[in-house]
Amino acid sequence: MVEWITSDRPVDYDEAIDFMETRAAEIAAGTAPECIWLLEHPPLYTAGTSARIEDLTEPDRFPVYTSKRGGQYTYHGPGQRVVYVMLNVAKRGHDVRRFVQELEAWVILALAEFNLTGHIRAGRVGVWVERPDKPRRADGGLSEDKIAAIGIRLRKWVSFHGISINVEPDLEHFGGIVPCGIQEHGVTSLVDLGLPVTLSDVDVALKRSFYEVFAAEIE
Binding positions for substrate are: 69-76, 149-151, 162-164
In degrees, rounded to 5, the angle at the alpha carbon of residue 32 between the alpha carbons of residues 28 and 34 is: 75
Report which residue type is found at 178.
V
Please give the Cα distance from 148 to 85 (Å, whole number). Answer: 14
Please give the Cα distance from 67 to 76 (Å, whole number). Answer: 12
Length of the chain: 219
Q: CA-CA-CA-CA torsion for 141, 143, 147, 148, nearest 10 degrees?
A: 40
> In whole angstroms, how large is the CA radius of gyration of the chain?
17
Any idea which residues carry the catalytic annotation? 180
How far is residue 210 from each of residues 2, 81, 107, 110, measured CA to CA in Å? 10, 15, 9, 8
